[in-house]
Chain A
């Protein structure tokens, strides 16, 4: 991809960066020419003995993978941004950069506000612990104090409708119940930015509906939501703006209708990505 600025909607970014200095916060997420390189060993060397032997014989080789290349993105507060692309295109990498799980090899990532990563619902849940104990642990994983979590516990229990099971070990829960509890914790903590990675594909219909309602409430409260999904209908329904990532590059950024249409057309035909009619330069993958 060429280095030109890819504007997110008309005039958004110019406006954004200027008033940044005036103390207003027009962007909550800003990626400036971000490149992320992984150094992947050609063969997985899991033991230190093998590593030392290979190092002496000079048999340690690395491949460099560029997960994101020269990536620019600005997201305004209150925006709901759809992120689409094939598996391995760099969608998760983008989320991980925003969530501070990965750091850019070059470029800059600025995030203002508290993030709730719905990347992995129920990460760190332990089957032997009760629902209540797991909620406390989840809260701690999100950086909350014990007192804060005690205050939030009733709301979390109420929303998840698990009051009668909250003191049973969660190994006795169904997967839907676990998901409900996890979602309740992740969203009860009042994040400014919600990263949703197809997390809603779990649970029964009622739960999915409740999740949608909650995400809608977030959007109405002016929170920022980033949604990764392969379900283009879901993207169109929820997001006005969508970005399409291909092989670590941003190939489209615009209104969801046109971006998903272009993506859909490309998915059917295959290899070449047609140039972006909205951009002046060409967008090569």
Chain B
């Protein structure tokens, strides 16, 4: 079927007997409805910032407040060895927040998605894609206070910042993969979101964000290596905090986990896409 003909005025033809493989069909659908991805993202951002006066500032302020609290705890009470702890923490937590926000926000869009796809045809992956888009905007906004912090602290603005987009792209792919799976399960079961919120909180503490990976005893290191978010956080944090470009091995691991997650998520998601209209 030629969905792309829809906007161009070409006669689109739909034949239920000649559907391409689901994963390809879903990908084509997502492309054809890319404007919907943008519109949904714009809507979510507008609504979020229309409702509260603090709006944009809150997105910027929240990570800073967390940072202050954790800096007090870790620097003053626990006497951490990490230099410039606020920078270290922010450079990890911003990316974690992106991951946890986008994944859990897809899970809360399932009801809306069910309502819509029961009534008109839209590829369901638009909801996951728009959540990623919203997350990227929020991430960009929250980088502003980090830059201010760097200036205030006199922390060097490393030339390696240019490498940041690579980390963000890989992180987005991984988040998309996790979101796709989560979205599929949460569309069917309403308690999945709550369970995920608990899980993601635990996952946060298993990932070296408030602490340095070096404090993990060697016999427990395998837990780090099994954690995909470890590679992704390291990849994103290193150019900012250490002023280094991630090693080839680290990059390979980060790319490996994100592409794998996306591939698994995409196939799982599109395989179940047909049955949503029956559910709920």
For the complex, what is the distance from the CA of A29 to the CA of B270, rounded to whole Å? 26
| Contact residue among A38, A126, A141 (Cβ-Cβ distance under 8 Å from B120) | A141
- Check B139 for interface membership: any CB of A closer than 8 A: no
Contact status B278-A39, CB under 8 Å: yes
Find B6's partner among A101, A137, A143 (CB 8 Å cutoff). Answer: A143
A58 interface contact, C-beta 8 A: no
- B46 on the A face (CB < 8 A): yes
Name B117-140 residues within 8 Å CB distance of A.
117-122
Q: Which of A9-17, A42-50, A203-211 contacts B (4 or more CB under 8 A)?
A: A42-50
How many angstroms from the CA of A108 to the CA of B15 in the assembled complex?
Answer: 7
Contacts of A96 in B (CB 8 A): 277
Q: Any chain B CB within 8 A of the CB of A158?
A: no
User: With A47-B190, A110-B13, A143-B7 as given contacts, are A123 and B35 in contact (CB-CB < 8 Å)?
Assistant: no
On whether the beta carbons of A101 and B120 are closer than 8 Å, the reply is yes
Question: Residue on A with the closest CB to B37?
Answer: A140
Q: Is B70 an interface residue (CB 8 A)?
A: no
- A113 in contact with B12 (CB, 8 Å): yes
Find out whether the CB atom of A120 lies under 8 angstroms from the CB atom of B120: yes
Contact B47 A129 (CB under 8 A): yes
Closest to A127 in B: B47
Distance in Å from the Cβ of A248 to the closest Cβ of chain B? 15
**Do A48 and B120 touch across chains, with their CB atoms under 8 A apart?**
no
1/0 per residue A27-40: CB within 8 Å of B?
Answer: 00000000000111
Q: A123-B119, A143-B32, A144-B6 in contact; A128/B47 too (CB < 8 A)? A: yes
Most buried by A among B33, B43, B274: B43
- Judge whether A100 is part of the interface by a CB distance below 8 angstroms: yes
Interface size class of A (residues with CB under 8 A): 35 or more
In the complex, whether A146 has a CB less than 8 A from a CB of chain B is yes
Neighbour of B35 across the interface among A40, A51, A111, A145, CB < 8 A: A145
- For the complex, is B205 an interface residue (Cβ under 8 Å from A)? no
**Chain A residues near B57 (CB-CB < 8 A):** none
Tell me whether A119 is interfacial, beta carbon within 8 Å.
yes
Interface string of B201-230 (1 = CB under 8 A from A): 000000000000000000000000000000
A255 adjacent to chain B (CB < 8 Å): no
Residues of B within 8 A of A230 (CB): none
Is A5 located at the chain interface by the 8 A CB criterion?
A: no
In the complex, are the beta carbons of B189 and A126 less than 8 A apart?
no
- Give per-residue flags for B1-41: 1 if the beta carbon is below 8 A from chain A beta carbons, else 0: 00100110101111111010000000000001101101110
Interface residues in A101-152 (C-beta closer than 8 Å to B):
101-104, 107-114, 117, 119-120, 123-124, 126, 128-129, 133, 136-137, 139-146, 148
**Distance in Å from the Cβ of A192 to the closest Cβ of chain B?**
7
Chain B residue numbers with a CB within 8 Å of A140 are 33, 35-36, 38-40
B79 contacts partner chain A, Cβ-Cβ < 8 Å: no
Q: Are A124 and B116 in contact (CB under 8 A)?
A: yes
CA distance A25 to B195 in the complex (A): 52
- B189 touches which of A48, A99, A110 (Cβ 8 Å): A48
B15 contacts A48, CB within 8 Å? no
Contact between chains at B43 and A101 (CB < 8 Å)? no
Q: Which of B33, B35, B192 has the most C-beta atoms of chain A within 10 angstroms of its own C-beta?
A: B35
- Contact across chains for A102 and B38 when beta carbons are under 8 A apart: no
Chain A residue nearest to B3 (CB atoms) is: A143
Using known A-B contacts A102-B277, A103-B16, A123-B119, determine if residue A129 contacts B191 with beta carbons closer than 8 Å. no
16 contacts between A and B (CB under 8 A): A47-B191, A48-B191, A103-B16, A103-B274, A111-B13, A111-B15, A113-B11, A123-B119, A124-B116, A128-B47, A141-B122, A143-B7, A144-B6, A146-B38, A146-B39, A148-B7
* Closest 9 A/B residue pairs (Cβ): A140-B39, A48-B189, A140-B36, A100-B121, A47-B191, A109-B16, A143-B6, A108-B17, A120-B119
A sample of 11 more A-B contacts (CB under 8 A), given A143-B6, A145-B35, is: A46-B191, A111-B13, A112-B12, A112-B14, A117-B121, A126-B43, A126-B47, A128-B50, A129-B43, A136-B39, A139-B35
